Amino acid sequence: MQKKSLFKRIKEERVLYFLLLPTIVFFILFRVLPIFNMRLAFFQFRARGNWPFVGFKYFEMIFSSPAFAQILANTLIISFMKYVLLFPFFVIFALMLNEVRSFRFRKYVQVISYLPHFLSWVVIAGIWINSLSLAGSVNQIIAFFGGDAVDFMTDRSKIRWILMICEAWRSLGWDSIIFYTAIIAISPTLYEAAQIDGAGRIQIIKSIILPALVTPMITMFILNLGFFLNAGFDQVFNFSNQAVESTIDILDTYIYRIGIEGGQYSLATAVSLIKGLVGVVLVWGTHVFSKKMTGSGVW
């Protein structure tokens, strides 16, 4: 069978490609075109006139900065908590959702768990900051049981965990969708055969459901590593204050501070370039490792 040309496929499925067009435009404008401006990391930015070439000057400034080590450590810790520690909970939630027998109750749980994802971090931060304030609902509950009030939002030992819990509250339902979809896509005949053999629910989960989740788990984990150095600018920016800034100051807030507020565009671009390169290396390296170990990867 002769393979159709791209032009013919676009012509035959023009409605689908038309629906895809906004996404393509978005990625070209905000993902592809900015790549060409990464050269700014090797030049000294000037609003007027030529940009003198400075080589690796800004990279040397980054790695020699006393603050960079702490900022990088904050980024790695927060990213690890969000992308690694939370990852199993998305799978567990999908498994628990699949075990709910009441169709109506399951739909209620899905809707309630998906809703926080559609709230902006400004709204979410307002809800959580008010709830965790000294006069908030959490401290009122603590006081009801005879405890002392805790200023959660200025406690450096708790703020990272607050970010993690808040991320879980926002993303638990949404990030479990792909795993739940993989579960409901399993053929019913496999369940019937297992039940005939006398398998219980735990055995079915171990022998049928979990193996079906291996590929989406590997794929999602590898893709998440591409964002490992992001750590969530929107969340951190809205939750940050002077008391905890040194604990949750991450690369993205550093870029915002030196680039947007400080006008050091070349230095900010150099940090962004480092982030991008590390993300590519993490995704590619994890993909190769996964291919060798499990035979499954992203591509």
> pLDDT tens digits for 101-118?
898 999 999 999 999 999
Q: How much of the chain, in percent, has pLDDT values that exceed 70?
A: 97
Above 90 in pLDDT, residue 257? yes
> pLDDT tens digits for 208-234?
999 999 889 988 888 888 888 888 899
> pLDDT tens digits for 163-214?
999 999 999 999 999 999 999 999 889 888 888 888 888 899 998 999 999 8
E strand map for the chain: none
* Residues 98/180, Cβ–Cβ less than 8 Å: yes
Average pLDDT of the segment spanning 232-248: 92
Compute the distance between CA of residue 29 and CA of residue 75 in angstroms, rounded to an integer. Answer: 27
At residue 127, the pLDDT reads: 94
At residue 2, the pLDDT reads: 60
Q: pTM for the full model?
A: 0.85
Q: What is the DSSP letter of 194?
A: H
* Residues 252/231, Cβ–Cβ less than 8 Å: yes
Burial class (CB in 10 A: 0-12, 13-18, 19+), 233: middle
If pLDDT is split at 50, 70 and 90, which confidence band does 73 have?
Answer: very high
At residue 139, the pLDDT reads: 93
Q: How many helices (H) and strands (E) does the chain have?
A: 18, 0
Q: What is the DSSP string of 166-185?
A: HHHHHHHHHHTHHHHHHHHT
Above 70 in pLDDT, residue 3? no
Above 70 in pLDDT, residue 1? no
Burial class (CB in 10 A: 0-12, 13-18, 19+), 12: exposed
Compute the distance between CA of residue 64 and CA of residue 72 in angstroms, rounded to an integer. Answer: 13
If pLDDT is split at 50, 70 and 90, which confidence band does 237 have?
Answer: very high
Q: Could you give the domains of the chain? A: 57-294 (1.10.3720.10)
Compute the distance between CA of residue 150 and CA of residue 102 in angstroms, rounded to an integer. Answer: 40
If pLDDT is split at 50, 70 and 90, which confidence band does 299 have?
Answer: low
Highest mean pLDDT among 26-40, 132-146, 279-293: 132-146
Structure tokens, 194: 């297992």
Q: What is the DSSP letter of 257?
A: I
